[in-house]
Amino acid sequence: EAPTETPTETPAETPTEAPTATPTEAPTEAPTGAPTEPGCVPQPTAAADGPRLPGQPSPTAYPTCAPPPTPRPVSVAPTSQPSFAPTVEPTDEPSPSPSEKPTAQPTPQPSDHPTLHPTYSQHPTPKPSNNPTAAPGAFTIQLVNMGTISDYDVQIQHAKERWERIIVEDMPDYTPDNWESYDWFLGAFDDDPPFRQETVDDIVIGYVFEEMDGTSGTLAEAGPRKYLITETGRRSVSGMMRFDIADFNADRLTGDNAEIVITHEMGHCLGAIDVYSLCGPGQGNAIDGCTDAYCCLRAREEYADLGFTGAQLDMPATKHWAEASFNFAEEDLDELMTPYFVSGSYQPLSVVTVGALEDSGFTALAYDQADPITESGRRALREQRDRLPVLRAEGNFSLDGRIKYTTPVRVHYTVAPDGNLRLHD
């Protein structure tokens, strides 16, 4: 059958066998301007010039499900509040107010006043230490092997590290007059050719392993060779250490024993303990009215703070701490700068010896780098991988203070324009 010419107002009870209208010869006026929304199934519209059912609207350019979205306008003026994300492209004009947080990128120009000291933590130290730690590496011990034996260089370097962790004061460089012929060690070594160097920072120590008197005799000799008198005390400029290779090659100086001897003797070169007699009764840095063997303040204070009640910090004429000042506290406790060493006893470089260095004139010392004297402290130290453990004697031996070169020579100096010191013998 042919389609009806005009649609009926009421639909037929059954659909017709053919479409109710002929297709349009041309498409609708314009394609859909935007895609339909998800889940929307738009109904087709009739052509603009084709037949329509009663009440059917005219064809539209957009789908019937939803109106087209309105594009978001782009503001020309700056926003009053900062955005939460950075803009893709920078604006030509700055924002009217600064952002609440600083930018992640550095400023193109440095500030007018640079930071004087960098910060190492976002949180301040809750409680300052009694003795501030200066920057490590400020004090330099220059070691010169005046012989040919280098078997104990590891122990030599460990001793150097221990003392450089304690003394953190950078001294001016020393430059002697006529340095080409200057003898830093005052003939302590049979060096040919002799050691010559134009400038030293902060102390130079020569050492040698050689035959001295065979085994079971003198293990070592050490002491300062030249020193300065400063405003705070006396400082070693140079020192010497001699070690009997017969004892070191024997079984009695194996393991920690060799390092104990070397570290102990290096301490004497630096000024421990009272090699200049500054702390005896009535001496330069002694407490007024003191009649004890050791009369300087800082070592006595540190000794008292350790809780050694009923004990006295004593220093015999051999320039060592008295054994009785330490070995009563624990069965296996001693101190590095005592003269006798018993197998199994710990030999800490304690805060008492650090205090003695301050008494002698050093002004920047890291007390927190001293060795602990208690077992709990030693256990905690073993967990610090950047620290050397507390030394422990593995045999019985003594360093009784017999020093061949007992009298160091004072060196006079003037301050050069660059702040360094010019030495005049």
* pLDDT value, residue 245: 92
Report which of residues 355 and 92 the model is more confident about. 355
- Is 176 within 8 Å of 413 (Cβ atoms)? no
Residue pair 227/410 in contact (Cβ under 8 Å)? The answer is yes
pLDDT the model gives residue 425: 75
Residues 371 and 373: their CA atoms lie apart, in Å, by: 6
pLDDT-above-70 percentage for the chain: 61
Which has more pLDDT, 106 or 290?
290
The whole-angstrom separation of Cα 328 and Cα 334 is: 9
Q: Which of 13-27, 160-174, 240-254 has the lowest mean pLDDT?
A: 13-27
Q: Distance (Å, rounded) from C-alpha 286 to C-alpha 305?
A: 19
Q: Does 367 score more than 90 pLDDT?
A: yes
Torsion of CA 3, 9, 14, 19, to 10 degrees: 30
pLDDT at 360: 86
Q: Is the pLDDT of residue 256 over 80?
A: yes
More confident residue, 259 or 250: 259
Average pLDDT of the chain?
Answer: 73
User: Which of 161-165, 243-247, 396-400 is the least confident region?
Assistant: 396-400
Least confident of 204-208, 282-286, 292-296, 325-329: 325-329
Q: Look at residue 266 in the predicted model and tell me its pLDDT.
A: 96
Q: Select the more confidently predicted residue: 423 or 215.
A: 423
Residue 173 vs residue 396, higher pLDDT? 173
Q: What is the pLDDT of residue 6?
A: 54
Q: Are the CB atoms for 225 and 186 separated by under 8 Å?
A: yes
What local confidence, expressed as pLDDT, does residue 114 receive?
41
User: String of b and e for 306-344 (b: at least 16 CB within 10 Å)?
Assistant: bebeebebebeeebbbbbebbbebeeebbbbbbbebbee
| Most confident region among 36-45, 87-96, 132-141, 193-202 by mean pLDDT | 193-202
